[in-house]
Amino acid sequence: MHVCKYCPKSFNRKDNWRQHLRLHTRPNTRLKRVAYNPEAVKQYTTETERLIHSRRVIRNER
Ligand SMILES: [Zn+2]
């Protein structure tokens, strides 16, 4: 279970959680009812870098 730090939502899949986290990185999300949060920008950047890195590792192993 992946819980959002910035609102009470939680997600079974990390992909969905990351997609939701991205909404918090956009200042203009009033219609989506997801508040912009600068901490979410940092976390999303970290998660994205981690994902890119892990993909590179898998590629190197093959
Ligand atoms: Zn959230």
Please give the distance, rounded to the nearest whole angstrom, from the Cα atom of residue 59 to the centre of ligand 1: 31
Please give the distance, rounded to the nearest whole angstrom, from the Cα atom of residue 36 to the centre of ligand 1: 9
Distance CA 42, CA 61 (A): 29
Distance CA 2, CA 18 (A): 9
Mean pLDDT per 10-residue interval, the chain, length 62 residues? 95 95 83 85 94 80 58
**Domain range annotation of the chain:** 2-61
pLDDT at 57: 76
pLDDT at 31: 66
Please give the distance, rounded to the nearest whole angstrom, from the Cα atom of residue 62 to the centre of ligand 1: 36
Please give the distance, rounded to the nearest whole angstrom, from the Cα atom of residue 51 to the centre of ligand 1: 20
Give me the phi and psi of 2, to 5 degrees please: -110, 120
pLDDT at 55: 82
pLDDT at 5: 95
Please give the distance, rounded to the nearest whole angstrom, from the Cα atom of residue 53 to the centre of ligand 1: 24
